[in-house]
């Protein structure tokens, strides 16, 4: 007779999904590590800033695709995802402007892009700050800590 295998239930949950009240499908999401990551000028929990026009399903796909990269960062055992939205404007992709403005503000404040962002290293400021203030975006980034 074969020896029976041991079954164990892990104490921590692998994933938790909540229903977030998001009126629009187009949004920006931020992946936050469980600890502060080192950047050239300061520390931040922000590991990735991304955008989607497909809503929550795209966030789940992105998290699944980036999980290995985020969890391979030194000392990171878990992460959370936060959503940032803004009011829509006619004939304008505001969620893309918001993502660019957040990336530029992050780079200005911390000295480089978030660890898991690859695109945008040479990003130049366009008209993003005609729609969003530096001060408000800095406060949003500080609130994510």
pLDDT digits (tens, 9 = 90+) for 40-84: 999 999 999 998 877 777 788 888 888 899 999 999 998 988 888
pLDDT value of residue 9: 73
In DSSP terms, which residues pair with 37 in a beta bridge? 44
Is position 9 within any domain?
no
For 41-105, the DSSP string reads S-EEEEEEEEEESSTHHHHHHHHHHHHHHHHTSTT---EEEEEE----BTTB-HHHHHHHHHHHH
Is position 1 within any domain?
no
pLDDT value of residue 24: 58
- Read off the pLDDT of residues 93-145 as tens digits, 9 standing for 90 and up: 988 999 999 999 999 999 999 999 988 888 898 888 898 899 999 999 999 88
In DSSP terms, which residues pair with 52 in a beta bridge? 27
Is position 111 within any domain?
yes
Side-chain half-sphere of 93: how many Cα atoms within 13 Å? 9
Is position 10 within any domain?
no
Handedness of CA 122, 44, 39, 43 (dihedral sign): positive
Is position 16 within any domain?
no
> For the whole model, what pTM was predicted?
0.86
Is position 7 within any domain?
no
* Token pair 């408000």 in the structure block, residue: 136
Q: Which domain holds residue 84?
A: 27-143
- Token pair for residue 56? 């929550």
Tally of domains in the chain: 1
Is position 11 within any domain?
no
Is position 71 within any domain?
yes
């Amino acid at each position: 007779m074969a020896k029976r295998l041991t079954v164990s239930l892990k104490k921590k949950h692998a994933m938790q999904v909540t229903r977030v009240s998001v009126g629009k499908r187009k949004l920006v999401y931020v992946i936050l590590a469980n600890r502060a990551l080192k950047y050239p000028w300061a520390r931040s929990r922000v590991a990735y800033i991304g955008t989607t026009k497909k809503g929550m399903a795209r966030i789940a796909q992105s998290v699944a695709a980036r999980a290995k990269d985020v969890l391979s960062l030194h000392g990171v055992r878990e992460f959370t995802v936060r959503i940032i939205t803004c009011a829509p404007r006619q004939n304008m992709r505001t969620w893309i402007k918001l993502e660019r403005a957040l990336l530029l503000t992050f780079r200005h404040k911390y000295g480089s892009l978030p660890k898991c962002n690859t695109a945008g290293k040479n990003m130049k400021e366009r008209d993003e700050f005609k729609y969003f203030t530096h001060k408000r975006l800095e406060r949003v980034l500080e609130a994510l800590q």
